[in-house]
Amino acid sequence: MVDVDSEAGPLRVALWRDSWVLAWRREGLEASEEVFDVFARGAEDLVPPLVHIGMSEQAAGTLAQELIAERAVMDREEARG
């Protein structure tokens, strides 16, 4: 899980090894409303749902790239065990 502050507000994002990405709006330290659940092999798959929740195309692209990179790091760390 990754907490991010975006131009669409604070989000909690779950980055699953099987390429699913779930996002919830965050209120304080708690996740509240789910805003999307999407299969995302790459950053380009995350841009449309991020734009849909209120981010600009540029900000969505940047955040999507960061999230996919974070998932790759998490996957490598888990593989090392």
- Provide the residue ranges of all domains of the chain, joining segments of one domain with +: 2-80
Q: At which residue do the structure tokens 């995302």 appear?
A: 40
Q: What is the mean pLDDT of residues 6-28?
A: 93
CA distance 68 to 46: 9
Phi, psi at residue 40, to the nearest 5°? Answer: -135, 100
Q: 36 by DSSP, 3-state: which?
A: strand
Confidence band for 60, pLDDT divided at 50, 70 and 90: very high
* Per-residue tokens: 31: 């996740």
Q: At which residue do the structure tokens 């195309």 appear?
A: 57
Confidence band for 79, pLDDT divided at 50, 70 and 90: confident
User: Whole-prediction pTM value?
Assistant: 0.88
